[in-house]
Amino acid sequence: MAAVIGFASPASAKPKEKAKAGKKVTRTWKTLIDHVAKNGDEDPIQGSTARTLGYDSDDVYAKSLGIDADKSRDNREHGIYVIGEKDKSGALIPKEIVLGAASLKEIGAQKEIESYRVRMSLDGKIIRGMRASGIVGSIVHEVLPNDSKTLLSVYKAESSLYLRDIEISQLTK
């Protein structure tokens, strides 16, 4: 009886080999921070953006790298800023991270912007978030509560982008 069942089993009943997962990039915040501090351009966070993120200054020293809108999957610009101060040799001493995503749409002669920023500790914990939107020249800045779905969604997407989804070499000045 067992022989009959064995012959009656279709070939597809044999166990299949599992599909091999694609190479997944993983890195730590420290690796990313070190890369931006070493390779990024000086790019301070300024004005109302700095104030909305809760800084006491209108000019916060940072180095940044990012992805241009035409090279990103969602047609948005993405940036990672390492906030800090310079040591005596001029090297950046990291204090915080700011992740950002922005889209710019041309509507006739006007440009409309929608931008999000997430201020974080060096270990990736959210400190504060913000949204800036409107027509260029008339931008409204607003603080997003740390538990807002919008802020958490932006944080998750940007963290995934930088820690897993891209090769670090894709970040440009």
Dihedral (Cα; 133, 134, 138, 139), 10-degree rounding:
0
> Other CB atoms closer than 10 Å to residue 40's CB: what's the count?
22
Q: Measured on CA atoms in the order 139, 142, 148, 152, is the torsion positive or negative? A: positive
| pLDDT in single tens digits along all 173 residues of the chain | 444 444 444 444 444 444 444 556 678 999 999 999 999 999 999 999 999 999 999 999 999 999 999 999 999 999 999 999 999 998 999 999 999 999 999 988 899 999 999 999 999 999 999 999 999 889 999 999 999 999 999 999 999 999 999 888 899 98
Dihedral (Cα; 65, 70, 72, 77), 10-degree rounding:
50
Q: How far apart are CA 158 and CA 152, in angstroms?
A: 10
> What are the domain boundaries of the chain?
25-170
Pairing of strands 126-135, 138-144: antiparallel
pTM: 0.82
Pairing of strands 41-42, 92-107: unpaired
